[in-house]
């Protein structure tokens, strides 16, 4: 559900999409301190974000990877497909080494870890607003090295072998959802989710669903430990 706020005058209008209200509030306060920036609305899920984007017509959308109903990557892809004038910046707890390139391929222009958001968000907004790309130095070096070393360089994490959808299913498994619950969340059949699960097991060299579940649970837990609130 979107929260619509009184529009600012002659300011860069920003929509925040994140499923944590405390984080949205803190981020909005930080952004609204800037004379030329204004948070025009908030949303907690994919459908609320799509409605808010259509109603509020923001200049920029700040989005998390994990939303209440669908992936932030899916939201970025859809917004990028339907409105190329809106720029998008990701602020997420998820490790940039695994998600930043996926976000950029989907159409985002910047990626910030939540641990660094309070220090970097205004700088990132301004860089993206001016037509640039924002990423940490570590991530920038990694992306540039791909042009030098080519695709032959091995991925740093086995999870990088997963497609965006497979990674999303893997994460939901790690959050404890059953196959049927994942199907409902992603609007896909149980059979389709089962196929994704088998592909994930094969790519991660896991023999049983129990091994996959254990791996996914540990990964999600580590992601939560490494992430911080605003």
pLDDT tens per residue across span 130-160: 999 998 877 777 666 665 655 555 456 788 8
What pLDDT is attached to residue 140?
73
CATH number at 158-226: 1.10.10.10
What pLDDT is attached to residue 157?
73
CA distances in angstroms from 127 to 39, 122, 130, 131, 203, listed in the order given: 17, 9, 5, 7, 37
CA dihedral 200, 203, 80, 92 (to 10 degrees): 80
The 8 Å CB, 24+ separation contacts for 198-206 are 199/166, 200/162, 200/166, 200/169, 200/170, 203/158, 203/161, 203/162, 203/166, 204/158, 204/159, 204/161, 204/162, 205/158
**pLDDT greater than 80 at residue 52:** yes
> 97 and 146 in contact (C-beta within 8 Å)?
no
* Mean pLDDT estimate for the chain: 86
Report the DSSP pairing between strands 3-4 and 12-17: unpaired
Domain ranges for the chain, please list them: 3-145, 158-226
Report the DSSP pairing between strands 3-4 and 87-92: unpaired
One-character DSSP codes across 160-218: GGS-HHHHHHHHHHHTT--HHHHHHHHT--HHHHHHHHHHHHHHTT--SHHHHHHHHHH
The CATH-assigned architecture of domain 3-145 is 3-Layer(aba) Sandwich (3.40)
Question: Greater confidence, 209 or 224?
Answer: 209
How far is it, in rounded angstroms, from Cα 86 to Cα 176? Answer: 34
Is-above-0.85 flag for pTM? Answer: no
Encoding tokens for residue 194? 């089962």
How far is it, in rounded angstroms, from Cα 163 to Cα 169? Answer: 10
């Amino acid at each position: 559900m979107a929260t619509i706020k009184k529009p600012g005058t002659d300011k860069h209008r920003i929509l925040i999409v994140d499923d944590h209200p405390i984080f949205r509030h803190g981020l909005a306060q930080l952004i609204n301190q800037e004379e030329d920036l204004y948070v025009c609305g908030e949303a907690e899920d994919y459908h609320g974000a799509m409605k808010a984007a259509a109603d509020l017509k923001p200049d920029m959308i700040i989005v998390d990877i994990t939303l209440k109903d669908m992936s932030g990557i899916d939201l970025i892809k859809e917004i990028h497909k339907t409105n190329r004038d809106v720029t998008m910046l990701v602020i997420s707890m998820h490790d940039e080494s695994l998600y930043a390139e996926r976000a950029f391929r989907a159409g985002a222009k910047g990626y910030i870890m939540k641990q660094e958001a309070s220090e970097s968000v205004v700088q990132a907004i301004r860089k993206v607003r001016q037509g640039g790309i924002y990423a940490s130095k570590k991530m920038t070096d990694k992306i540039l090295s791909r042009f030098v070393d080519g695709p032959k360089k091995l991925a740093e994490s086995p999870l990088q072998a997963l497609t965006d959808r497979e990674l999303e299913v893997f994460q939901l498994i790690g959050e404890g959802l059953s196959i049927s619950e994942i199907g409902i969340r992603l609007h896909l059949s149980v059979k389709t989710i089962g196929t994704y699960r088998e592909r994930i097991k094969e790519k991660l060299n896991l023999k049983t669903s129990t091994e996959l579940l254990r791996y996914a649970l540990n990964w999600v837990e580590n992601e939560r430990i490494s992430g911080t609130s605003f």
